[in-house]
């Protein structure tokens, strides 16, 4: 394999074998992998898993006559390169280039059929010019809820001029004021731009952001996990900053609905649904006693309004100050301060402590005019709903706990299942209403309906849909990202002219933020437009470039458009997308958003970008341990370790084979182990093992290059598929690799003599050989079509075992076999194919059709069970009717023996499957 892998790599490259062009005579297939971020560590055996699967599908589809787009590229803007640059002063572009080259070399060694002529890099100006272009389109668009799509902002301005915004139903900021055409015309330029910002799909606004001091940048919600940054695990605090945002919330409903049309794993769809977090409810106004203000609350349980015993406001709520009565002002201020200073993380990790503060003010329950106290409580979140809740302790566990803690009244409004507040499983979502005047006796569902009608009729609120999802923060205070094509005139942001793109990332001498706290781009000299206006210093987040790259692959060199109409309409959407599940609420959601937007403005023809998605599972590391007897330099073998007091130490997995330690290598590993002594079992040192994440520090990283060197790329590819279902998380374990390696050798030997010369028979293939071949074709085809790669490899092994038992070396069998093999083990398949005397390296022959006539026999062996127990096997012709089968089975001696002279009460015959007798 060392020899012919090299040979074919060279051949494929020289002949550009996998280069693909639009070909309308063939159906298209777009097989895409999530492109990697080129990190300094290179690929480990886990990375190629998904690429192998998509490559198998790509090759299979080619053989089936599809024109296959199977590209690869690099998500080359990112944090690690920048952090490395800050430390070393080396330009991130240099590190990135170096890493990409290493990645490409490793990918090349694995024999993927990527069309490298379509390679893209997000950090390349020819690419990010179009990322900037899309940004500008978003800036120049607003979302019209009436037509349910994005429209040009120029249309909106026209309407403002004609009628103001009174009849406009748009996705816009909550605090957008109403104005007439006259008002609009009288506004200053600045005022108009501020209004437009409330409508634009990307806009500059003061927003509460997740600020990560250690990284010196803001993070999107999906980049924060448990109050710390996903990358690096640094603490994150909430801070108000002027930031660019993407109005993804405008698309919330469509992003949710679109999920139903997708062939994605259910958990993945569920994660996006949860993230979007749609809830239906109502907004309700509570008048404050003695003040001319209303408190707006959002509730999903408007039916329980008769049970409201207090209102609770988030500490950040704007009305807090106004509501605090003079006597309580000090306590209120103190409470608000403490709550604000508590980091998000504390607030989350400490959900059991109940805290709150009475404001001294009261509100009026609009349903029954009862007077209810207004509290401030940190269990109410400023960022969700209206930042205020109506508390119904009898129907909500949190309100209940709060009311108990502060001795507030509790009014039951439901009876039935789970409504008993003294019980542990208290969580009333069912039952009938009580103590609720006109709602009494209704079910929860009916009561909600009626209560909303009541609220709307009385004008004290309205039914409302609420989403958990927030707009996406789009500014990053970093160097190594796409510059935002915006300049400022009198502090007002304006879009770049599209003709001036790309706005190229300027050179700077250091990559840190400036002393004055400006983003790194603040260091750039003359970072101004040609008219001398200052340019935005923030850059785009990591997900910008990856949100549309699948479109650029269709037409990567186009200078006029991000993708030509022709290429876009031919390749359309991604037919198969393979990648990790960790992108559920990040990349996959943003890509769907941008694609829908581009669809709205007429640049792409499918609303959803990824028709079919598969999440490959992570390949974990399998760490090995040696057991040092505490205080000595003696190591005791795994099964004897209990007899000693030991400390396990990580052992480099490359020194361990089938859990047996290579003692010499171990001694040579580190200086302090030179004189190590060993307590062996059966003459061997057995290591312990544990499954952990693959990482350098755990000495469990397996480099694909090593495997390729020892066994070849074909073996590695087959083995990764053989390891188990693609979607599953599984530890890497080299133990079984010999099995697939042996299979390839066996196949090779089938058609070669001992001297290594091709040894083929040109005789007509026997019926038996054909049967094996076509059985394999049928099964392998079915398996690939349902993406079950592990079972299809097994099918292959059975095929070779059977052919080998027949000593089959038939040329025509080999030809067909090679075609089936090529998706899995491309090198060996191409080598065999060329040995057969076929000149080309792509196997153009179509996947041979399996034939029914080869797979059937003239008889079938029926398993026969009596009272559910298998008792006999009877061979019968296939052509028999149900009745005849029944008759022949009953007559047979072996069945008579089990029936013991009795007649069966019931006979069940399933043709081609089974016969069951009930006595």
Q: Give the footprint of RNA on residues 298-327 (CB under 7 A).
A: 298-301, 314
Alpha carbons 164 and 147: distance in angstroms, whole number = 18
Alpha carbons 759 and 747: distance in angstroms, whole number = 12
Closer residue to RNA, CB minimum distance, 502 or 712? 712
Shortest distance, position 724 Cβ to RNA, whole Å: 3
Which residue of 94, 465, 649, 918 would you call a contact of RNA, by CB under 7 A?
918
Q: How far is CA 840 from CA 830, 836, 837, in A?
A: 9, 11, 9
Which residue of 865, 876, 888, 890 would you call a contact of RNA, by CB under 7 A?
865
Residue showing tokens 């001694």: 667
> Which residues, 6+ apart, have CB-to-CB distance to 170 below 8 Å?
142, 143, 144, 145, 156, 199
Judged by CB under 7 A, the stretch of 189-197, 349-357, 558-566, 761-769 that binds RNA is: 349-357
Shortest distance, position 374 Cβ to RNA, whole Å: 15
Closer residue to RNA, CB minimum distance, 226 or 853? 226
Contact set for RNA, span 351-380 (CB under 7 A): 351, 353-355, 378-380
Residues constituting the chain: 919
Alpha carbons 230 and 683: distance in angstroms, whole number = 47
Closer residue to RNA, CB minimum distance, 270 or 500? 270
Alpha carbons 282 and 292: distance in angstroms, whole number = 22
Closer residue to RNA, CB minimum distance, 15 or 405? 405
Closer residue to RNA, CB minimum distance, 568 or 783? 783
Is residue 663 helix, strand or coil?
helix
Which residue of 116, 133, 179, 384 would you call a contact of RNA, by CB under 7 A?
384
Alpha carbons 716 and 825: distance in angstroms, whole number = 9
857: left (phi over 0), alpha (psi -120 to 50) or beta: beta
Judged by CB under 7 A, the stretch of 6-14, 247-255, 740-748, 883-891 that binds RNA is: 740-748
Alpha carbons 104 and 38: distance in angstroms, whole number = 10
Shortest distance, position 750 Cβ to RNA, whole Å: 10
Q: H/E/C letters for each residue in 366-401?
A: CCCCCEEEEEEECCCCCCCCCCEEEECCCCCHHHHH
Which residue of 40, 729, 853, 891 would you call a contact of RNA, by CB under 7 A?
729
Which residue of 695, 735, 759, 875 would you call a contact of RNA, by CB under 7 A?
735
Q: How far is CA 458 from CA 287, 299, 461, 894, in A?
A: 14, 17, 8, 83
Shortest distance, position 471 Cβ to RNA, whole Å: 14
- Answer for the pair 134, 125: CB distance below 8 angstroms, yes or no: no
Shortest distance, position 355 Cβ to RNA, whole Å: 7
Closer residue to RNA, CB minimum distance, 327 or 424? 424
Dihedral, CA of residue 641, residue 644, residue 646 and residue 651, to nearest 10 = -30
Q: Are strands 859-866 and 869-877 parallel, antiparallel or unpaired?
A: antiparallel
Shortest distance, position 537 Cβ to RNA, whole Å: 30
Among candidates 52, 406, 469, which has minimal Cα distance to 245?
A: 469
Closer residue to RNA, CB minimum distance, 503 or 747? 747
Shortest distance, position 715 Cβ to RNA, whole Å: 12
Contact set for RNA, span 535-594 (CB under 7 A): 581-582, 584-585
Is residue 342 involved in binding RNA (CB under 7 A)?
Answer: no
* Tokens matching residue 870: 């298998």
> Would you tell me how many other CB atoms lie within 10 Å of the CB of residue 517?
9
Shortest distance, position 514 Cβ to RNA, whole Å: 33
Shortest distance, position 377 Cβ to RNA, whole Å: 8
Contact set for RNA, span 279-298 (CB under 7 A): 279, 281, 297-298
478-490 residues labelled b (16+ CB within 10 A) or e (exposed): bbbbbbbbbbeee
- According to DSSP, the residues that pair with 761 across neighbouring strands are 810
Closer residue to RNA, CB minimum distance, 134 or 726? 726
Contact set for RNA, span 188-247 (CB under 7 A): 222, 225
Closer residue to RNA, CB minimum distance, 233 or 383? 383
- Answer for the pair 727, 786: CB distance below 8 angstroms, yes or no: no
Shortest distance, position 33 Cβ to RNA, whole Å: 20
Among candidates 475, 503, 576, which has minimal Cα distance to 29?
A: 576
Closer residue to RNA, CB minimum distance, 690 or 782? 782
Shortest distance, position 399 Cβ to RNA, whole Å: 7
Closer residue to RNA, CB minimum distance, 443 or 791? 791
Alpha carbons 616 and 726: distance in angstroms, whole number = 5
Contact set for RNA, span 835-864 (CB under 7 A): 861, 863
Shortest distance, position 816 Cβ to RNA, whole Å: 20
Dihedral, CA of residue 584, residue 585, residue 589 and residue 591, to nearest 10 = -70
Which one-letter DSSP state was computed for residue 847? P
Among candidates 118, 113, 66, which has minimal Cα distance to 829?
A: 113
Which residue of 381, 665, 763, 878 would you call a contact of RNA, by CB under 7 A?
381
Shortest distance, position 304 Cβ to RNA, whole Å: 9
Which residue of 161, 274, 338, 881 would you call a contact of RNA, by CB under 7 A?
274
Which residue of 111, 366, 387, 765 would you call a contact of RNA, by CB under 7 A?
387
Contact set for RNA, span 443-482 (CB under 7 A): 466, 468
Question: What is the DSSP annotation of 500-529?
Answer: G---PPPP-S--SPPTTS--GGGGSTT-B-
Contact set for RNA, span 133-162 (CB under 7 A): none
Contact set for RNA, span 743-762 (CB under 7 A): 743, 745-746
Q: How far is CA 11 from CA 7, 105, 111, 691, 842, in A?
A: 6, 15, 12, 40, 11
- Answer for the pair 365, 454: CB distance below 8 angstroms, yes or no: no
Which residue of 295, 308, 723, 747 would you call a contact of RNA, by CB under 7 A?
723
Report residue 276 CA to chain centroid gap: 15
Is residue 347 involved in binding RNA (CB under 7 A)?
Answer: yes
Contact set for RNA, span 646-685 (CB under 7 A): 658
Shortest distance, position 354 Cβ to RNA, whole Å: 6
Q: Are strands 28-33 and 67-69 parallel, antiparallel or unpaired?
A: parallel
Which one-letter DSSP state was computed for residue 845? S
Contact set for RNA, span 890-909 (CB under 7 A): 906, 908
Shortest distance, position 381 Cβ to RNA, whole Å: 4
Closer residue to RNA, CB minimum distance, 117 or 856? 856
- Answer for the pair 885, 805: CB distance below 8 angstroms, yes or no: no
Is residue 266 involved in binding RNA (CB under 7 A)?
Answer: yes
Closer residue to RNA, CB minimum distance, 35 or 796? 796
Q: What are phi and psi of 762, to 5 degrees?
A: -100, 15
Alpha carbons 817 and 833: distance in angstroms, whole number = 10
Q: How far is CA 569 from CA 22, 24, 566, in A?
A: 10, 11, 5
Closer residue to RNA, CB minimum distance, 227 or 522? 227
Closer residue to RNA, CB minimum distance, 100 or 408? 408
Judged by CB under 7 A, the stretch of 121-129, 264-272, 471-479, 808-816 that binds RNA is: 264-272
Contact set for RNA, span 764-803 (CB under 7 A): 779, 782-783, 786, 788, 790-791, 794, 797-798, 801
Alpha carbons 335 and 778: distance in angstroms, whole number = 71
Shortest distance, position 698 Cβ to RNA, whole Å: 16
Shortest distance, position 843 Cβ to RNA, whole Å: 24
- Answer for the pair 40, 95: CB distance below 8 angstroms, yes or no: yes
Judged by CB under 7 A, the stretch of 38-46, 366-374, 590-598, 729-737 that binds RNA is: 729-737
Shortest distance, position 733 Cβ to RNA, whole Å: 7
């Amino acid at each position: 394999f060392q020899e012919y892998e090299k040979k074919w790599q060279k051949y494929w490259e020289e002949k550009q074998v996998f280069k693909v062009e639009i070909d309308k005579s063939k159906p298209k297939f777009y097989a895409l992998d999530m492109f990697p971020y080129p990190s300094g560590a290179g690929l480990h055996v886990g990375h190629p898993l998904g690429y192998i699967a998509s490559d198998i599908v790509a090759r299979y589809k080619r053989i089936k006559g599809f024109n296959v787009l199977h590209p690869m590229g690099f998500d080359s803007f990112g944090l690690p390169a920048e952090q490395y640059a800050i430390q070393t002063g080396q330009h991130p572009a240099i590190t990135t280039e170096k890493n990409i080259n290493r990645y490409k070399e490793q990918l090349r060694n694995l024999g993927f059929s990527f069309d490298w002529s379509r390679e893209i890099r997000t950090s390349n100006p020819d690419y990010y010019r179009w990322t900037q272009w899309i940004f500008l389109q978003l800036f120049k668009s607003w979302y019209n809820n009436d037509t349910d799509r994005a429209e040009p902002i120029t249309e909106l301005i026209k309407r403002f001029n004609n009628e103001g915004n009174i009849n406009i139903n748009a996705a816009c900021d909550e605090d957008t004021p109403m104005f007439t055409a006259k008002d609009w015309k009288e506004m200053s330029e600045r005022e108009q731009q501020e209004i437009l910002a409330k409508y634009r799909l990307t806009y500059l606004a003061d927003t509460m952001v997740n600020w990560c001091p250690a990284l010196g940048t803001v993070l999107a919600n999906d980049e924060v996990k448990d109050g710390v940054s996903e990358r690096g695990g640094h603490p994150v605090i909430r801070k108000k900053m002027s930031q660019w945002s993407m109005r993804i919330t405008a698309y919330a409903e469509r992003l949710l609905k679109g999920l139903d049309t997708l062939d994605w794993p259910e958990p993945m769809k569920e994660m996006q649904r949860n993230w979007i977090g749609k809830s239906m409810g109502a907004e309700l106004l509570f008048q404050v006693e003695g003040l001319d203000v209303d408190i707006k609350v959002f509730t999903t349980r408007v039916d329980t309004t008769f049970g409201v015993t207090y209102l609770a406001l988030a500490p950040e709520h704007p009305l807090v100050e106004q509501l605090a009565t003079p006597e309580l002002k000090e306590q209120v201020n103190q409470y608000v301060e403490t709550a604000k200073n508590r980091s998000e993380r504390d607030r989350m990790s400490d959900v059991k402590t109940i805290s709150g503060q009475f404001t001294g003010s009261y509100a009026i329950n609009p349903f029954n005019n009862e007077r209810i106290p207004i509290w401030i409580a940190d269990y109410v979140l400023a960022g969700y709903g209206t930042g205020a809740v109506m508390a119904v302790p009898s129907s909500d566990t949190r309100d209940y706990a709060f009311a108990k803690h502060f001795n507030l009244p509790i009014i039951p409004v439901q009876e039935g299942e789970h409504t008993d507040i003294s019980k542990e499983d208290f969580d009333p979502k069912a039952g009938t209403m009580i103590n609720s005047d006109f709602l009494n006796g209704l079910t929860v569902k009916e009561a909600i309906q009626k209560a909303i009608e009541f609220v709307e009729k009385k004008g004290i609120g309205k039914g409302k849909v609420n989403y958990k999802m927030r707009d996406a923060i789009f500014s990053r205070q970093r160097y190594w990202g796409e510059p935002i094509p915006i300049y400022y005139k009198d502090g007002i942001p304006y879009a770049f002219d599209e003709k001036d793109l790309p706005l190229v990332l300027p050179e700077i001498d250091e990559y840190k933020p400036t002393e004055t706290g400006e983003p790194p781009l603040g260091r750039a000299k003359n970072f101004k437009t040609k008219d001398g206006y200052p340019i935005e210093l923030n850059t785009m987040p990591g997900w910008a470039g990856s949100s549309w790259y699948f479109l650029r692959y269709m037409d990567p060199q186009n200078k006029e458009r991000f993708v030509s109409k022709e290429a876009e309409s031919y390749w359309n959407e991604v037919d198969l997308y393979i990648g990790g599940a960790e992108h559920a609420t990040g990349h996959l959601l943003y890509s769907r958003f941008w694609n829908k937007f581009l669809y709205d403005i007429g640049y792409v023809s499918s609303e959803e970008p990824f028709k079919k998605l598969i999440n490959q599972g992570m390949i974990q590391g399998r760490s090995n341990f040696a057991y040092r007897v505490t205080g000595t330099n003696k190591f005791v073998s795994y099964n004897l370790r209990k007899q000693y007091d030991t400390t396990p130490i990580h052992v480099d997995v490359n020194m361990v084979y089938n859990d047996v330690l290579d003692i010499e290598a171990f001694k040579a590993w580190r200086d302090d182990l030179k004189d190590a002594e060993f307590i062996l079992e059966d003459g061997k040192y057995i290591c312990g093992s544990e499954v952990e994440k693959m990482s350098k520090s755990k000495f469990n990283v397996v480099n694909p290059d090593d495997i390729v060197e020892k066994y070849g790329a074909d073996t590695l590819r087959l083995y990764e598929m053989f390891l188990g279902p693609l979607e599953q998380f599984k530890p890497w374990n080299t133990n079984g690799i010999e099995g697939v390696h042996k299979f390839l050798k066996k196949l090779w030997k089938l058609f070669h003599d001992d001297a290594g010369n091709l040894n083929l028979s040109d005789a007509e293939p026997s019926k038996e050989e054909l049967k094996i071949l076509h059985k394999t074709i049928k099964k392998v085809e079915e398996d690939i079509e349902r993406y079950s790669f592990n079972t299809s490899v097994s099918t292959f092994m059975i095929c070779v075992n059977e052919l080998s038992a027949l000593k089959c070396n038939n040329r025509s069998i080999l030809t067909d076999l090679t075609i089936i093999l090529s998706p899995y083990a491309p090198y060996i398949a191409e080598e065999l194919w060329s040995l057969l005397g076929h000149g080309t390296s792509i196997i153009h022959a179509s996947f041979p059709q399996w034939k029914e006539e080869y797979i059937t026999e003239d008889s079938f062996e029926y398993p026969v069970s009596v009272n559910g127990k298998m008792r006999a096997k009877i061979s019968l012709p296939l052509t028999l009717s149900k009745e005849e089968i029944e008759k022949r089975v009953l007559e047979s001696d072996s069945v008579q023996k089990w029936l013991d002279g009795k007649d069966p009460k019931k006979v069940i015959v399933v043709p081609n499957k089974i016969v069951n007798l009930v006595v």
